[in-house]
Amino acid sequence: MKNTIVLKKVSLSIDRKSILKDISFIVMPNKPMCILGRGSSGKSSLLKTIIGILKPNSGHITINGVSTTDPEISEIYKRFGVVFQKDALFDSLSVWENVMFRSLDKKPKKKLLKRTFEILKLVGLEKNDAFLFPNQLSGGMRKRVAIARAISHKPEFLILDEPTAGLDPIKTNMIFKIIKKLSTSLNTTLIVVTSDMKSVMKYFKETVVLEDSQVYWKGDVCDLSSKKSKYLKNLFGNLIN
Ligand SMILES: Nc1ncnc2c1ncn2[C@@H]1O[C@H](COP(=O)(O)OP(=O)(O)O)[C@@H](O)[C@H]1O
Ligand SMILES: [Mg+2]
């Protein structure tokens, strides 16, 4: 199926330490998936395995029906946009150079700037911000630049690791709004790791909860409230009853 990510019994261990155990789920376009779980449950490792940075020891991942072990996968990965947990902006490059870094030596500056302005607008930044450097940006602006960079090539897949960590509730809501809007307008297959339960309830449906390297629960976020598990209650606090 087009732009679908399928994980079947994916397991990963590093230095004999089990990091992912038997993870299976499917992500489809227009069904944004959110991955939840406490620290060290394996969320970032799971994303890195999906994007091919880590190789599973067993099980398999297919994207658009192509196995991640197939050389053809590199073409598919070009259509991915990724925001890592740390935004990893290039400090010596200005905002516009960060956003357009894939095309810096391929197109004239004028064209790149024009495209940058369009993208900055999408993430709620202004033209003038294009000429700032990362150390001149607030936390929320950095995150938005990182998202702008991830979407500059109109990716068909968008993978975001804690895109709002450390931001206040207003900026968090703003970023989730942007992400949701983008995934709809670009028809992207979207996976987001987050601990912001309010946004999860508001913006997502499909959910996978990881605990101790395994899928603890998966399903519709609305059904979380009917789960009486103490663990989920702790995770979601008073947002479920
Ligand atoms: N490259 C690595 N080498 C060894 N252990 C790792 C590596 N990456 C992650 N881990 C371990 O895997 C576990 C899950 O980490 P991570 O995926 O970052 O969790 P989360 O994102 O849920 O906080 C942690 O115990 C972490 O120490
Ligand atoms: Mg993480």
The per-residue pLDDT for range 90-123, each reduced to its tens digit, is 999 999 999 999 899 999 999 999 999 999 998 8
- Encode pLDDT of 41-58 as tens digits: 999 999 999 999 999 999
108 CA to centre of ligand 2 in angstroms: 37
Ligand 1 site, residue 116, Cβ cutoff 6 A: no
- pLDDT averaged over the chain? 91
157 CA to centre of ligand 1 in angstroms: 23
At residue 38, the pLDDT reads 87
Confidence of residue 75 (pLDDT cuts 50, 70, 90): very high
Ligand 1 site, residue 49, Cβ cutoff 6 A: no
At residue 222, the pLDDT reads 82
Question: Angle 139-151/169-185 helices, nearest 10 degrees?
Answer: 10
Confidence of residue 170 (pLDDT cuts 50, 70, 90): confident
42 CA to centre of ligand 2 in angstroms: 7
Classify residue 159 by burial, with Cβ atoms within 10 Å: 0-12, 13-18, 19+: buried
Q: Where are the alpha helices (DSSP H) in 78-205?
A: 95-99, 109-122, 139-151, 169-185, 197-203
Atom of ligand 1 minimally distant from the CA of 210 = 22
More confident residue, 85 or 156: 156
Choose among 207, 134, 146: nearest CA to 178.
Answer: 146
**pTM of the model as a whole:** 0.92
Report helix, strand or coil for 55.
coil
Mutating to test ligand 1, I would choose from 43, 45, 161 the residue with most ligand atoms within 8 A of its C-beta, which is: 45
Confidence of residue 239 (pLDDT cuts 50, 70, 90): low
Confidence of residue 80 (pLDDT cuts 50, 70, 90): very high
Tell me which long-range contacts 61-65 makes (C-beta under 8 A, separation of at least 24): 61/5, 61/6, 61/7, 61/8, 61/10, 62/5, 62/6, 62/8, 63/4, 63/5, 63/6, 63/157, 64/1, 64/2, 64/3, 64/4, 65/1, 65/4
At residue 135, the pLDDT reads 96
Region 198-225: mean pLDDT is 89
Confidence of residue 225 (pLDDT cuts 50, 70, 90): low
Let me know: does 7 contact 25? Beta carbons within 8 Å. Answer: yes
Give the number of whichever ligand sits closest to the CA of residue 86: 2
At residue 228, the pLDDT reads 62
Backbone angles phi, psi at 172, to 5 degrees: -60, -50
More confident residue, 151 or 132: 132
